[in-house]
Structure 1
Amino acid sequence: MSGTKAWGFTDDRGAEPGAARVPRRVVAYVRAGAAMCDLGVTPVAVYGSGHDGDVLDPAKEGGLSAAAVTYLGPGRGIDEARLRELRPDVLVDVTYDGKSPYALDEAVAERLGVPLVALSVGNELTLPAILDRFGALAVSLGAAPDGGPAAEGSSAALRAAEDELREVAARTGLGVLALSGAGPDQVHLARPLAWPELARLAELGVRLVDPGPGPGANWLTGDWDRAAELRPDLVLFDSRAHATAPDAALPGVRRTPWNPETPPSPAAYARFFRTVAEALAG
């Protein structure tokens, strides 16, 4: 960061955006924005992905609705005039490949003359590392340097949730399958190690069911019979609005919601791990 810049941050693409003052007006992809909100930086607006519609998906909103954060619709079709009217100081997105922002065309930021930060949520980082990166960005944008009492409470809640999950997983030994329904005839079965939060579940002792060989780095796509053949004790089902719930497809199988775009914050993952622990405990 040069001496003429009051703010700078190296993102997970290796880009080094900077500004003459610390950005205060943050516009973010909804997942990143919900994390920032948890971490003490409330965005002025958020935008969605190609999966999202004109209304904010309840599974993704976190604390955004309670904070009255404006939703701008999908990022790829964003109204640039409306975005410009919001006078953003910085855009915050995520990246899965370490090269490109996921939900917004980088040219939009270039046309607005606004720095864009993209943080990794892919499996090249562990979940704790992802949480640390989002925490560091929040601090750079004005959150309390030590996290403050709220952040300390969230971190303590996450540790407690992990401890609870570790104990329940060891006691029950149930097999857990994560999936995303794609209609009555198709389902995407998650490969556990491709998802940082699922890999973290495995580290905590949860017995995750692998869907087996076949195409797809993150998902193996098949029919619901394939899911049933894996004989899971518990299903983590994609709770986002575009996904199909496994209500009739897997009768008698215990299930609990999973948002594959959980906000990368200790508070959000504490809630998720508690939910999984409760589901395992029955």
Structure 2
Amino acid sequence: MSSSSPSPRPSRPTRRGLLAVGGALGVGAALAACGGKSSGGASGTGAGEKSGPWSFTDDRGTKAGTKSLPRNIVAFTGMAAALHDYGVEVKGVFGPTRGKDGKADVQAGDLDISKVEIIGNTFGEFDVEKYAKLVPELLISDMWEKDKLWYVPEKSAAKIASLAPQVALWASQTNMEKALARRAALAASLGADLEAPKTVAAKSRFEKAAARLRAAAKAHPDVKVLIGSASAELFYVSLAKMSADTLYFQELGVRFVEPKVDKAGFFEALSWENVGKYQADIIMMDNRSAVLQPQDIADKPTWAGLPAVKAGQVVPRVTEPIYSYAKCAPVLEDLAKAIESAKKVS
């Protein structure tokens, strides 16, 4: 699979291409949150009023700065959705935004996609000319590999970087809790009020959901979870510790299948004939629009014969979470519920 392709192919994929498909990514290194609550923000962000210079040090250790609070912000779709939950709006997005049916992609969250300029909608797609016309003041994206901004094509990365300061925050090499803190800090620097009742309530819900998942895992230590992603030719089994969300679940006590990963370390690719290699009680399936969903593979006998499938214990996995407390709390609640109600079938 080429690095520009969002879907798996039988040919040996590149590391960056694999990241675009799904499964688990990165390794767990702790990153401290920087920045803090701001007293307000510019009208262009959807927050309050603020004047003076702005700066933020990202997870590369790079300090981005502007003479005033950025108004023309362009962000990876999932990042834009997270900022939206804190009241910070962007002018443009890149990444999965609009589906073939015209509706918002799952990664767009609560964004009104009719009000943002879509710079690119698929992996490898980024309209530099359209980006430049927005007169961008800041570009923000996730980072799955060191110093590489997610969905920013390498072939045009230098040109894109020359047009505006950039901020990159880990979506791997950290856990969900730290990823959330970093995005909240960024939102605060851009004018979000982290003490707003809605935000405080969302964080409280997240903390309660984390406690519930920890309790569920402790009460059902024999329940084993497999992280899966499907293409027409292959079934991918991911390693939990390689992604911020599943690493956090693992830290809370969830027991995961541990595949024999390839040299890149992210996941093991299985032929459909060998899809039953690992036994599991719950299967978490990649929910992104670029990959096949359970209903798409229902006619594959080896899939249909899996104990977890026969038991109806297949649940969606939000493979690229929107890192706001409001969006991550339900993710934890859903997994806790699945573990609490799971039958031991492996």
| TM-score exceeds 0.5 | yes
Q: Specify the SS of the correspondent of 2:108.
A: coil
The whole-number CA distance in structure 2 between the counterparts of 1:56 and 1:101 is 25
Task: Confirm whether residue 252 of structure 1 aligns to residue 301 of structure 2.
Answer: no
The whole-number CA distance in structure 1 between the counterparts of 2:104 and 2:152 is 17
* Structure 1 residues 159 and 87: alpha-carbon distance in aligned structure 2, compared to 1, 3 A threshold: same
The equivalent of 1:37 in structure 2 is 84
* Structure 1 residues 213 and 97: alpha-carbon distance in aligned structure 2, compared to 1, 3 A threshold: closer
The equivalent of 2:188 in structure 1 is 139
Paired amino acid for 1:107: A
* Structure 1 residues 66 and 99: alpha-carbon distance in aligned structure 2, compared to 1, 3 A threshold: closer
The whole-number CA distance in structure 1 between the counterparts of 2:66 and 2:123 is 23
Q: Specify the SS of the correspondent of 2:288.
A: coil
Identity of aligned residues (%): 26
Normalized against structure 2, the TM-score is what? 0.72
Task: Confirm whether residue 19 of structure 1 aligns to residue 74 of structure 2.
Answer: no
Q: Specify the SS of the correspondent of 1:60.
A: helix
The equivalent of 1:202 in structure 2 is 250
Q: Deviations over 1:49-90 (max 9, x none)?
A: 6x9977676221111137844433247432233223333321
Which consecutive unaligned segments of at least 5 residues does structure 1 have? Answer: none
The whole-number CA distance in structure 2 between the counterparts of 1:91 and 1:56 is 24
* Structure 1 residues 269 and 227: alpha-carbon distance in aligned structure 2, compared to 1, 3 A threshold: farther
Normalized against structure 1, the TM-score is what? 0.87
* Structure 1 residues 79 and 179: alpha-carbon distance in aligned structure 2, compared to 1, 3 A threshold: same
The whole-number CA distance in structure 2 between the counterparts of 1:30 and 1:120 is 15
Task: Confirm whether residue 240 of structure 1 aligns to residue 275 of structure 2.
Answer: no
Q: Specify the SS of the correspondent of 1:9.
A: strand
Shift of 1:150: 1.5
For the Cα contact (< 8 Å) 1:52–1:242, is it kept in 2?
A: no
Q: Deviations over 1:206-252 (max 9, x none)?
A: 11111235444111111245442312111110011111124422441
Q: Specify the SS of the correspondent of 1:83.
A: helix
* Structure 1 residues 131 and 239: alpha-carbon distance in aligned structure 2, compared to 1, 3 A threshold: same
Let me know the Cα RMSD of the aligned residues: 2.4
For the Cα contact (< 8 Å) 1:24–1:141, is it kept in 2?
A: no
| 1:85 pairs with one of 124, 133, 136 | 133
Q: Specify the SS of the correspondent of 1:228.
A: coil
